[in-house]
Amino acid sequence: MKRPELWLYVAQRGSALVLAPLVLLHLGVILYAVAGGLSAAEILGRTRTSWIWPATYGLFVVAAAIHAAIGLRVVLREWTSWRDSSLDIATVGFGLTLLLLGFRAVQAIA
Amino acid sequence: MTTLEVEIWRGAEEGRYETYEVPSQPSQTVLDLVTYVQRKLDPSLAYRFACRVGVCGSCAMTVNGTPRWTCRTHVQKVATQGRVRIAPLRNLTVVKDLATDMAPFFDKVQEARGRFIPSDAAAKSVAEVPPEEPKRKEADAGIECIGCGVCHAACDVVRWLPEYLGPAALNRAWTLVNDARDGDRIGHLRAIAEDAGCHACHAHQSCAEHCPVGINPTRSISGLKRLVLMAAIRGRL
């Protein structure tokens, strides 16, 4: 692909746009669950009644994996001398790990 | 007569600070200190200046850790307890003492295609560019750059990613893409959309903070990011 850094920039800013409202929603959900004193079973009882919860958190996981992997690559490129293709492979691996761990969590509430 | 304790970097990349006693004068500039040392105390001191009135952009140095134009920086403003420490600009190779090799800085302006490309229409007649036109205003906001390299020295991204085009070169490109007389807008955008181009900027705003003539290159770079994004989405890059 021509100009990979430009497209990585687009992907990172795009994923940030998706993440921003989802982070606020997630904080709201935490406050609601804690303030109401919901047990784990009660929370799962609510999330398992609708496909919207797994879908929302699935989107959160995808956006976070893209955003964090690209951001980590930028930090490592700038702060260390690690510049070759092994950095790309490592950060793609990091993103895939986040995706895997995230979807395990989503599966648990689905 | 009171004196100032002036520490000046001597050497090249490897070197040391040497301390000089310089008489304190009213309205004295940092460039005056360096000139006094070179004329009266040590003629082997290397530094660069030309106009002494903030126009040529030759005399930028690091003063007490901050990049500044020394000809327009009063000692009174920067001295701490009668001491001033003067070093060459950061992010550029030191040739000798306070003189840095500015070639990579100016090369980046060319890499960013920071030169006017006349259009056919502009070559045939005088273009009318009303002062109130929005693009003219954008170009005007960045056009007074004196090429001193202060923004380049202040930029952390230049330090971390030496191939990054830097705030001055990108600001120049921004003035050109807003110039109605320029005939190669897409060519300018292509040049600054490369891998070490405008998207490497983290908008830390050190360039805007330190620019001696009050330009905000971060704003110019943000404008370039938007234009490049739109051009890329439309497949015009």
Of the candidates B191, B201, B207, the one whose C-alpha atom is nearest the C-alpha of residue B221 is B201
Q: Which residue of B has its CA nearest to A2?
A: B194
Q: Which residue of B has its CA nearest to A8?
A: B199
Q: Is the pLDDT of residue A17 over 90?
A: yes
Question: What's the confidence (pLDDT) of residue A93?
Answer: 98
Q: Is the pLDDT of residue B121 over 80?
A: no
Which own/partner pairs from A28-34 qualify as long-range (CB within 8 Å, at least 24 positions apart)? Answer: none
Residues of B in contact with A79 (CB under 8 A): 160
Contacts of A105 (CB under 8 A, 6+ apart): A57, A61
Question: What's the confidence (pLDDT) of residue A37?
Answer: 86
Mean pLDDT on B108-112: 97
pTM attached to this predicted model: 0.92
pLDDT tens sequence across B224-234: 999 999 999 99
- Return the CA Rg of chain A: 17
Is the model more confident about B148 or about A110? B148
Contacts of A70 (CB under 8 A, 6+ apart): A8, A11, A12, A15, A91, A95
Q: Is the pLDDT of residue B1 over 80?
A: no
pLDDT tens sequence across B53-97: 999 999 999 999 999 999 999 999 999 999 999 999 999 999 999
Q: What residue spans in chain B does CATH classification 1.10.1060.10 cover?
A: 103-233
The architecture in CATH of the region B3-100 reads Roll (3.10)
Residues in chain A whose beta carbon is closer than 8 A to a beta carbon of chain B? 2-7, 9-10, 77-79
Of the candidates B164, B163, B169, the one whose C-alpha atom is nearest the C-alpha of residue B215 is B169
In this structure, what DSSP letter does residue B72 have? G
pLDDT tens sequence across B173-196: 999 999 999 999 999 999 999 999
Beta strands in B24-144 (DSSP E): 60-63, 66-69, 83-87, 94-96, 99-100
Question: What's the confidence (pLDDT) of residue B126?
Answer: 85
Q: What residue spans in chain B does CATH classification 3.10.20.30 cover?
A: 3-100
The architecture in CATH of the region B103-233 reads Orthogonal Bundle (1.10)
Residue B90 Cα distances to A16, B16, B56, B65, B105, angstroms: 33, 15, 19, 9, 12
Question: What's the confidence (pLDDT) of residue B26?
Answer: 93
The architecture in CATH of the region A4-109 reads Up-down Bundle (1.20)
What is the least distance, in Å, from the CA of B192 to any CA of chain A? Answer: 10
What is the least distance, in Å, from the CA of A78 to any CA of chain B? Answer: 5
Cα(A99)–Cα(B18) distance, integer angstroms:
56
B193·A9 Cβ contact <8 A: no
B237·A10 Cβ contact <8 A: no
At B119, is the pLDDT very low, low, confident or very high (cuts 50, 70, 90)?
Answer: confident
Question: What's the confidence (pLDDT) of residue B20?
Answer: 98
Question: What's the confidence (pLDDT) of residue B124?
Answer: 81
Is the model more confident about A38 or about B48? B48
Containing B6, the helix (H) or strand (E) segment is strand B3-11
Residues of A in contact with B190 (CB under 8 A): none
Mean pLDDT of chain A: 94
Domains of chain A by residue range: 4-109
Question: What's the confidence (pLDDT) of residue A99?
Answer: 98
Bridge partners of B5?
A: B21, B83
Cα(B200)–Cα(B158) distance, integer angstroms:
9
Of the candidates A95, A16, A12, A109, the one whose C-alpha atom is nearest the C-alpha of residue A57 is A109
> Do residues B122 and B185 make contact, with C-beta atoms less than 8 angstroms apart?
no
The sign of the dihedral angle between the CA atoms of B19, B24, B27, B28 is: negative
Question: What's the confidence (pLDDT) of residue B234?
Answer: 93
At A59, is the pLDDT very low, low, confident or very high (cuts 50, 70, 90)?
Answer: very high
pLDDT tens sequence across B124-154: 888 889 999 999 999 999 999 999 999 999 9
Question: What's the confidence (pLDDT) of residue B169?
Answer: 98
Q: Which residue of A has its CA nearest to B195?
A: A5
ipTM of the complex: 0.84
Residue B220 Cα distances to A75, B164, B182, B210, angstroms: 23, 15, 17, 15
